[in-house]
Structures are given as structure tokens and as C-alpha cells.
Amino acid sequence: MTLILKDSLGGNSKTVICACIGPSSFQQNETLSTLKFAKRAKFIKSVVRINEDFSGDSEALKNEIKRLRFQLDTKVIFL
């Protein structure tokens, strides 16, 4: 379960865990396991990072694309 929630628990997001438990005595082990997992997940602290925005550098990226296209066009391919 923690592998599935890895991105949510370690990233820049809020995560809600809904623990489904049952009152039946034959589900006692499963209910206890679910409650223990929910308790452990409750205490996970994530480090928030600012998402970097590269959209302001679009002119530099366009120039790089032009340079690479020029290199591809002028490159001589030997077979």
C-alpha cells in the first residue's frame, strides 16, 4: 500500500486515508492491521518544495532547438 501511495505521501500534495474497518470478530486481524497502517500513515511528514517553472526561459529553449536543428541539417551521415 505504501508503494502505491509513494508519490502522494512524499510529494507536494495533501493525502486523505479512509480506513475501512468492520465490527465482526472474524475481521478482527484485518481491522487491527488497517488501523495500525492508518496510524503510521498519519505521522508521515512530507517536505514541501517549490515547483520550478521553466516557462520564463522559453526563448532560450527555442534558441537551443534552432541550434540543434541546424546541427542535424548540416551533419554529414556516412553509411
Q: Residue 10 has what pLDDT? A: 62
In CATH, what is the architecture of 6-74?
Answer: Up-down Bundle (1.20)
Q: Residues 57-68: pLDDT tens digits?
A: 778 888 888 988
Per residue of the chain (79 residues), give pLDDT as tens: 667 666 666 666 777 788 888 888 888 999 999 999 888 888 877 776 666 666 667 788 888 889 888 888 887 555 4
Q: Residue 29 has what pLDDT? A: 92
CA angle 17, 32, 28 (to 5 degrees): 125
